[in-house]
A and B are shown apart, each in its own frame.
Chain A
Amino acid sequence: DGGITQSPKYLFRKEGQNVTLSCEQNLNHDAMYWYRQDPGQGLRLIYYSQIVNDFQKGDIAEGYSVSREKKESFPLTVTSAQKNPTAFYLCASRPGPPGNTIYFGEGSWLTVV
């Protein structure tokens, strides 16, 4: 099936540890995005990438890192520098022009224990 796959669905992290969330898409989309969602809140942009080997910081990039070595993959690392990492993380992708719509994966829940 075509789509955006995020894994794992649920992840627990001890304080001081880095964790990496996976995002893979087989839609041949050019751009990929990571958003963070806190309970009862909207979505905030962490990082985005419009092409391979290039990415830009979003509004809340501190404590996070990404890479875009392949078109279909855009992993997000939540580092120990992120002081409040417990949240729902959403990966998204967008086709190249003229397509504008951004499609989302099913999300990953990260909990710090």
Chain B
Amino acid sequence: GESVGLHLPTLSVQEGDNSIINCAYSNSASDYFIWYKQESGKGPQFIIDIRSNMDKRQGQRVTVLLNKTVKHLSLQIAATQPGDSAVYFCAEIRMDSSYKLIFGSGTRLLVRP
């Protein structure tokens, strides 16, 4: 069935290195994608979004890449810091589906000091 999923459940990186979190989606008609960060016991926090008519979008220390050919989404975090340790979710909004937000299962990012 249609889904948004992640390749790696846990990612461990050294502080200061760059992190790359990947996500695959199955619906080529998806219009809009969002990355969320969730710390333990808290609600998801918006990080960055990208529309389906874009390939790349940059924020502060984060970059989202969208490859529609292979239906792949990635989140790059530059100079990873201990405060970046959290679970990261990609999510997909299908505009023809009443704006339902479909989440992947999440990737836990662990930053080693």
Bound Cα distance from A6 to B70, whole angstroms: 39
- Cross-chain contact A106 with B46 (CB below 8 angstroms): no
The number of residues on chain B lying at the interface, defined by a beta carbon within 8 Å of a beta carbon of chain A, is 21
Complex Cα–Cα for A113 and B91 (A) = 33
- Residue contact B100 to A90, C-beta cutoff 8 Å: no
Kindly identify, within residues 22 to 49 of chain A, every residue whose CB is under 8 Å from any CB belonging to chain B. 31, 33, 41-45, 48
A102 interface residue per 8 A CB criterion: yes
Q: Does B101 contact A (CB under 8 A)?
A: yes
Bound-state Cα–Cα, A48 to B49, Å: 21
- Could you say which interface size class chain A belongs to? 20 to 34
Are the C-beta atoms of A48 and B100 separated by less than 8 Å?
yes
Q: How far is the CB of A34 from chain B (nearest CB, A)?
A: 12
Contact A104 B43 (CB under 8 A): yes
In the complex, the answer to whether B42 meets A106 with C-beta atoms within 8 Å is: yes
Contact of A58 with B by CB under 8 A:
yes
Cβ–Cβ < 8 Å partners of A43 in chain B: 44, 89, 101, 103
Q: CB distance A42 to B106 under 8 Å? A: yes
The listed residue (A102, A106, A107) touching B101 by CB distance below 8 A is: A102
B89 touching A101 by the CB < 8 A rule?
Answer: no
State A56–B98 Cα separation when bound (angstroms): 9
Sampled A-B contacts (23; CB under 8 Å) = A42-B103, A42-B104, A42-B106, A43-B44, A43-B101, A43-B103, A44-B103, A48-B98, A48-B99, A50-B98, A50-B99, A56-B98, A58-B100, A90-B43, A92-B101, A100-B99, A102-B34, A102-B91, A102-B99, A104-B36, A104-B43, A107-B42, A107-B43
Question: Which B positions have Cβ atoms within 8 angstroms of A?
Answer: 32, 34, 36, 41-46, 49, 89, 91, 93, 98-101, 103-106
